[in-house]
Amino acid sequence: MNPVERRVEHPLSRSVLAALALALAGGCNGAPQTWVSLDNAYPASNASPAVVYRGWWQAVAFGGPIVPGGSSGLQPTVPASDNTAYAVLAPGWDPDTGTTPASFVVLQSRSGYAVHLGDILRIAVDDASFEGDCAAGSHLTQHQADVITQLVFPNVFAGLRYDAATCTTTSIVDGAVP
């Protein structure tokens, strides 16, 4: 018999490999879970409520909408050191209408957020923790806004141009407001 064709397998090797694969996939019952949520900390009583349309932190995309006082719910994540969080607000938009928001505001967290293995991270979106809301007197640079709109939320801003100085969005095609 050719030594290359001969295969010796230890009887436990398949079960050991299966257990290792399960552990790496996070399937062990004893493995601690790590979670993150995006919470809309804007007041619901505003005349023009700030709805969180989308959010992003580390490798977690938060779909929306998240109404004032609402939460994305817990999303699984991995432990991470400080990472910037991003959000897109849809001020004055009522998600129940089924229409697309008329305007957006791009936000970036003022500091990074970290989470340890087995912990829960809650990211509160408001003007104290995030910058970029012109109505609150906070502005991003155009470069910051371009990175967020083009790299973090490209689907939201496809065909749109965001002006960080005025927090306005216009259509690239015809210059109209979306």
Give the pLDDT score at 177.
Answer: 52
| Per-residue confidence band for 44, with pLDDT thresholds at 50, 70 and 90 | confident
- Alpha-carbon distance of 165 to 142, in angstroms, equals 7
Q: Average pLDDT over the chain, rounded to whole?
A: 85
Q: Return the percentage of the chain with pLDDT > 90, whole number.
A: 71
Least confident of 18-32, 71-85, 103-117: 18-32
| Per-residue confidence band for 173, with pLDDT thresholds at 50, 70 and 90 | confident
Give the pLDDT score at 75.
Answer: 97
Query: Tokens 């050991």 sit at which residue?
Result: 16
